[in-house]
Amino acid sequence: MGNIFSLSNIALAIFTLSGCAVGPDYTAPRAVEQIPLDQPYQQASNATRWWRAFDDAELNRLVSIALEQNRSLQKAHANVERAAAIFMDADNDWLPKGSLDAGYQANENSTIAAADNNTVSRGNSVGANLSWDLDLFGKIRRATQAAAANAQQANVLWHEAQTQIISQVASSYGDYRGAQMRLQVAEKNLENLQQTRTIVEVRLDAGFASDFELARVDAQFYEIKAMVPVFSADLLRAKATLSALLGFAPGELTLTDASPLPQLSQPVSINDSRDYLKYRADVAAAERRLAASTADIGVVTADLYPSLSIKGFLGFVSAPGLALNAANQAWSVAPTLSWQVADLGSVKSRIRAANASARMALADFEQQVLDAVNDIQLSLDEYNLSREQQLFSEQQYKASTKAMLIARVRYEAGSGEFFDLLDAERTWLTSRDQLAQIQHQSFAKLVSVYRVFAGGLTIERQEV
């Protein structure tokens, strides 16, 4: 009874110590500066389908392929599986470990006694070898917490990878359609300049125009002509980027014929009352890095204290040829207390390094929050300004078109000056190309808005 009571006391003491965990307990930051962080991370419900608001079948097809075939996404998903496996391995470290072993041993002169000279001894052993590292000061617990945080971070980074790839596909698709649009505008401008050249040629034959006027028209014509290879190169570059994002080799990707840039069917406004930071995977990933770094402090701090491990054997030991029965049963228990007392200086150095790493992770997290907030605000401001610029550009294009048509009619009738026509056409050509650029820019800014909001936008329909 006394032995049982003593063993019970020892077991109770061990489990009491095992409930301790050195190092700081982690608490997620509640705010950065004046920015509240009250809501935990969650992936927005529209995070992987927000682009469908554009109602563009080709864009839908491209994003769907990218989500299946993009190598960066496959890498991020594999990282999730790896981190989960590492966590599962760390999570069972507090349990006893064991193996089933069978061995044979032969010895000659196993002792220094003269009687054992030239004596050969042989033996078999069969049984279970067990080991158990008792988590007296929470080293295993903190390591498990760090592994869990790393696994959660990997999952969040996968969400971030999805957001980035979808945004890159949408942006590159916009680049492709934008280059197509500018190429079409250039071709139409060349057609209009050819019409102007025909008018000048007719007037030249009638003696009402000069070679100088014809040369000026040709100069404008070839100025536009020189831009066609540039737009074609932009088209090829956008297609190559899309091919890489979708996991296609050069020449494998086929796209539909020219179509307008994707647009939202109705004007939208953004509900500013929502806490959009909770959708930001990059912020959540930085917070999980901070949690893992905090747990790592406890892992190294536990080395300041003794560690206790128990090894044991349960099985049979016998000479060759003997049966395995109760007569040759064997067992052993070997508790070991270990303390790095002669290396505490190194342990303390590792603790200081772990604390410094945690401070670095905190600074990274706070900077990520500040970057995200500013990124959100900047994306909204840039999109609103781009839309305003587009409205003015559309008005400029309408006005310059009217001025060009009037100048052409007057010049053809002989009541207008050539330089008025030339100036009106130059302004019209420039405004037409500028409008195409700004329309492309507005689409890119809108994609950026969806990206920085991680697909978590609350869209409210406006009355038009």
Mean local confidence (pLDDT), 138-158: 94
pLDDT for the residue 340: 87
Percent of the chain predicted with pLDDT > 70 = 88
3-state secondary structure of 99: strand
pLDDT for the residue 347: 93
Question: CA-CA distance, 331 to 334, in Å (whole number)?
Answer: 10
Give one DSSP letter per residue of 10-58, joined into a string: HHHHHHHHHT---SPPP---SEETTEE--SPP---TTTTTGGGGG--HH
Structure tokens at 327: 């007569």
pLDDT digits (tens, 9 = 90+) for 291-300: 999 999 999 9
pLDDT digits (tens, 9 = 90+) for 8-31: 444 444 444 445 789 999 999 999
Higher-confidence residue of 109 and 34: namely 34
Mean local confidence (pLDDT), 295-306: 94
Residue 129: name the closest of 324, 308, 332 by CA.
Answer: 332
Mean local confidence (pLDDT), 304-330: 80
289: pLDDT confidence band, cut at 50, 70 and 90? Answer: very high
Does the pLDDT value for residue 394 go beyond 90? yes
Mean local confidence (pLDDT), 339-355: 92
Q: Are 313 and 332 in contact (CB under 8 A)?
A: yes
pLDDT digits (tens, 9 = 90+) for 333-346: 889 888 888 889 99
pLDDT digits (tens, 9 = 90+) for 395-452: 999 999 999 999 989 988 888 888 888 888 889 989 999 999 999 999 999 999 999 9
Delineate the domains of the chain, giving CATH numbers in brackets. 16-96+135-305+345-461 (1.20.1600.10)
Question: CA-CA distance, 238 to 258, in Å (whole number)?
Answer: 14
Residue 309: name the closest of 84, 136, 149, 185 by CA.
Answer: 136
Helix (H) or strand (E) holding 126: strand 120-134
Percent of the chain predicted with pLDDT > 90 = 53
Does the pLDDT value for residue 4 go beyond 60? no
Residue 300: name the closest of 347, 346, 360 by CA.
Answer: 347
Question: CA-CA distance, 246 to 347, in Å (whole number)?
Answer: 49
Residue 396: name the closest of 433, 422, 423 by CA.
Answer: 433
Distant-in-sequence, close-in-space partners of 264: CB < 8 Å, separation ≥ 6: 53, 54, 446
Q: Could you give the C-alpha distances from 203 to 86, 209, 416, in angstroms and in order?
A: 83, 5, 13
Beta bridge partners of 31: 36
Does the pLDDT value for residue 5 go beyond 60? no
Q: How many CA atoms lie within 13 A of 292 on its CB side?
A: 19
Question: CA-CA distance, 130 to 455, in Å (whole number)?
Answer: 52
Beta bridge partners of 78: none
Backbone angles phi, psi at 72, to 5 degrees: -65, -40
Does the pLDDT value for residue 118 go beyond 90? no
Q: Could you give the C-alpha distances from 104 to 123, 124, 328, 341, in angstroms and in order?
A: 6, 5, 15, 38
Mean pLDDT is lowest, of 185-189, 326-330, 350-354, 367-371, for 326-330
pLDDT for the residue 83: 93
Neighbours of 236 (CB within 10 A): 12
pLDDT for the residue 121: 72
Helix axis angle, 139-205 relative to 71-91, nearest 10°?
Answer: 170
Q: Tell me what the pLDDT averaged over the chain comes to.
A: 86
pLDDT for the residue 21: 84
DSSP 3-state helix, strand, coil percentages of the chain (rounded to 5)?
65, 15, 25
322: pLDDT confidence band, cut at 50, 70 and 90? Answer: low
Q: Are 20 and 279 in contact (CB under 8 A)?
A: no
101: pLDDT confidence band, cut at 50, 70 and 90? Answer: confident
pLDDT for the residue 116: 62
Mean local confidence (pLDDT), 221-239: 94
Residue 269: name the closest of 387, 391, 394 by CA.
Answer: 387
pLDDT digits (tens, 9 = 90+) for 47-61: 888 888 888 999 999
Q: How many CA atoms lie within 13 A of 258 on its CB side?
A: 9
Question: CA-CA distance, 322 to 330, in Å (whole number)?
Answer: 14
- Rg of the chain over Cα atoms, rounded to whole angstroms, equals 37
Burial (CB count within 10 angstroms: exposed 0-12, middle 13-18, buried 19+), residue 290:
buried
Tell me which residue has tokens 């700004």: 438
